Amino acid sequence: PSDIEGNMESATVIDLIPWMEYEFRIIATNTLGTGEPSMPSQRIRTEGAPPNVAPSDVGGGGGSNRELTITWMPLSREYHYGNNFGYIVAFKPFGEKEWRRVTVTNPEIGRYVHKDESMPPSTQYQVKVKAFNNKGDGPFSLTAVIYSAQDGELMFQMSFTLWIQVSTTNISRTW
């Protein structure tokens, strides 16, 4: 609160961020003027809460043979809202019903690579990501469409016959 009546002995501060440390100071004002700020209070951490924002820039694709690379922009620390922060990555081939889910426990990582020897190349996948902490899960991101890696080197053999005809003034090649 900005102003507190002189006879008040407490005040409530609202709209604070979950799992954030705060310190407070008090400044007294009366008809004689404004005093110096008090010493800061000890640091106080607000209670945690489930994340309330989803990771952004979900995408990916490409990678090595039989891989699906999923990427996202990790949430900044101020949005972790608690301990044991990480991500749940969900993905499925386009048109299937069941989502496969994996947990990424490093909050700084914005990438997961799924390897599957039976994965066909250039398969369309739907992917989404959400954050979690010890208080619960946040909302999923928008669903993105990506493709698994293409097959690696395309190998082909080409055979032909080269005929060379040489004269005193030119060389002719035919194949």
- Are 171 and 165 in contact, with CB atoms under 8 Å apart? yes
| Torsion, Cα of 165, 167, 170, 175 (10° steps) | 0
Q: Compare 89 and 169 and report the one with higher pLDDT.
A: 89
pLDDT in tens, 32-47: 999 999 999 999 999 9
pTM over 0.75: yes
Residue 10 above 70 pLDDT? Answer: yes
Which one of 2.60.40.10, 3.40.50.300, 2.60.120.260, 2.60.120.620 gives the CATH number of domain 56-147? 2.60.40.10
Residue 49 above 90 pLDDT? Answer: yes
- Sequence spans of domains, the chain: 56-147
Q: What confidence score (pLDDT) does residue 166 get?
A: 52
Q: How far apart are CA 87 and CA 90, in angstroms?
A: 10
Residue 88: in which H helix or E strand, if any?
strand 86-93
Query: Which has the closest alpha carbon to 112: 79, 76, 140, 87?
Result: 87
pLDDT in tens, 57-83: 999 988 888 999 999 999 999 999 999
Q: What confidence score (pLDDT) does residue 132 get?
A: 99
Q: What confidence score (pLDDT) does residue 152 get?
A: 56
Q: Compare 156 and 98 and report the one with higher pLDDT.
A: 98
